[in-house]
Amino acid sequence: MTEVGTGSRLVELVAAADVVDLSHPLAVGDPVFPGQPGFDLTPVGDIDDPDLPLCFGLISFMEHVGTHMDAPAHVIKGGRYLDEIPFAALAGPAVKVDLREQRGDAIDFDVSLADLERFEARHGRIEEGAIVFLHTGWDARYRQPSDYVVTAEDGTWHWPGLSGAAADLFVDRRVRGVGIDTIGMDGGHVALTLAAHRAVLGSGAFIVENVANLDALPATGALALALPIKTSFGSGGPTRVVGLR
């Protein structure tokens, strides 16, 4: 009876909440990290086939495509894989840091420690167990891959990201996860340093990249759920991220 009652309360909570889908649908042509294969869906079954009237297809993708989670094992030797992350660690109070004004039109913008300190001065200390989302506004470019993953003529990459110093604040706050609306948590111009990745994932928290629709999420007061595909030895995978406000 207790389990049924708990389930009923959860259904009521979701039904009463304003649900914000923070995920991009996976689609052919989605932007990918430079040099990586993209998402592909090949139709196999045909619902009009008289012998086997089923619609189904063959999908092919790398782990880190679309709105996806990075497990600690992505950059930390001995870190948890996706299937080892406890379910309870995939939900928490949602915190959105709106950085659109600070970024302006900059393509090499790095979220700084000062940016986060200003946020806390206005909204209060980021609580332990929170899932923090960094709203740079970059997701407006998502359907134009060359504008979303900018590669200059000299081969350098450009997109906003999280600085190492700011990442350390999240470690200190003991957050459960950090999401961003760009292709990578580390900015393109410093992507291969992996400074933000190592800090966040090294603390045991997860990262979510290519987050969508953050303009519909309040700064505080919502609940976030980040539910990745459950793959054994998965370093990451497509993730349905939602906010309940």
The full DSSP string for the chain is -HHHHHHHHHHHHHHHS-EEE-BPPP-TT---STT----EEEE--BTT-SS-B---EEEE--SS-SSEEEPGGGTSTTPPPGGGS-GGGGEEEEEEEE-HHHHTT-SS-EE-HHHHHHHHHHH-PPPTT-EEEEE-SGGGGTTSHHHHSEE-TTS-EE--EE-HHHHHHHHHHT-SEEEESSS-SS-GGGGGG-HHHHHHHHTT-EEEESB--GGGS-SSSEEEEEEE---TT-SEEEEEEEEE-
pLDDT of amino acid 5: 66
Task: Indicate the SS3 state at residue 223.
Answer: strand
Confidence band (pLDDT; 50, 70, 90) for 2?
very low
Q: Tell me which amino acid residue 85 is.
A: I
Task: Indicate the SS3 state at residue 121.
Answer: helix
Picking from 242, 239, 243, the residue whose alpha carbon sits closest to that of residue 26 is 239
pLDDT of amino acid 84: 99
Confidence band (pLDDT; 50, 70, 90) for 25?
very high
Confidence band (pLDDT; 50, 70, 90) for 113?
very high
pLDDT of amino acid 63: 98
Is residue 1 over pLDDT 50?
Answer: no
Instruction: Report the residue count for the chain.
Output: 245
Poorest-confidence range of 1-15, 75-89, 102-116, 153-167?
1-15
Is residue 7 over pLDDT 90?
Answer: no
Confidence band (pLDDT; 50, 70, 90) for 173?
very high
- The overall average pLDDT reported for the chain is 96
Q: Distance (Å, rounded) from C-alpha 155 to C-alpha 159?
A: 13
Is the domain covering 18-244 a CATH 3.40.50.300 domain?
no
124-167 pLDDT, tens digit per residue, is: 999 999 999 999 999 999 999 999 999 999 999 999 999 999 99
Percentage of residues in the chain with pLDDT exceeding 70?
97
In angstroms, the Cα distances linking 186 to 47, 107, 144, 161, 236 are 44, 12, 20, 5, 16
As a whole number, mean pLDDT of residues 74-93 equals 98
Confidence band (pLDDT; 50, 70, 90) for 177?
very high
